[in-house]
């Protein structure tokens, strides 16, 4: 959360001249409901089921830049779909950076707690190894403008061997 997936994804897609898809936005568009409402009505498990169905579809598209929700890696089938679907770029941000970037965002159901920083630390502890497991590239986003992160990704994508 707060690593810049949507912002950087849009910029990267523009540079690569590819369409951009955000799995959370796709879920919202198809259900007509925002993510917090889905969490409230169906719980996290209901949302994750929708997310898995969406990712299984989106990962079959050729030539798109896809931004996922932060918890997408929690399910093995999502990690497999992401890895099989193309190159995976893990945008890593420190908890401090995440706190700063998400402080005023009311659209993050998992951060509706008395201590969002502790929640972010716990989430990162579990999710970080899963992201690293499937990532072709790991990019640090702390204190870096999105444009610089995109240039870094583009350069590193060129260096990867073909799949």
Whether residue 159 lies inside any domain: the answer is no
The more confident residue out of 130 and 2 is: 130
Whether residue 57 lies inside any domain: the answer is yes
CATH assignment at residue 126? 3.40.50.300
Whether residue 144 lies inside any domain: the answer is yes
Whether residue 161 lies inside any domain: the answer is no
With a pLDDT cut of 90, the percent of the chain lying above it is 69
Q: For the purposes of burial, counting CB atoms within 10 Å of the CB of 63, is it exposed (0-12), middle (13-18) or buried (19 or more)? A: exposed
Which domain does 81 fall in, by range? 5-152
Whether residue 163 lies inside any domain: the answer is no
Averaged confidence pLDDT in the chain: 90
Question: CA dist 16 to 8, 40, 73, Å?
Answer: 12, 37, 24
């Amino acid at each position: 959360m707060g690593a810049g997936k949507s912002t950087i994804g849009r910029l990267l897609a523009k540079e690569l001249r590819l369409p951009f898809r955000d799995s959370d936005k796709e879920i919202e568009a198809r259900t007509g409901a925002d993510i917090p409402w889905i969490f409230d009505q169906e719980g996290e498990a209901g949302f994750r089921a929708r997310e898995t169905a969406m990712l299984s579809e989106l990962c079959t598209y050729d030539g798109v830049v896809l931004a996922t929700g932060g918890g997408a890696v929690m399910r093995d089938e999502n990690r497999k779909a992401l890895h099989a679907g193309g190159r995976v770029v893990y945008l890593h941000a420190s908890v401090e950076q995440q706190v700063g970037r998400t402080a005023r965002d009311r659209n993050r159901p998992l951060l509706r707690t008395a201590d969002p920083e502790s929640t972010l630390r716990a989430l990162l502890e579990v999710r970080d190894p899963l992201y690293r497991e499937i990532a072709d590239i790991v990019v640090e986003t702390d204190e870096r403008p999105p444009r610089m992160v995109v240039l870094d990704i583009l350069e590193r994508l060129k260096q990867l061997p073909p799949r």
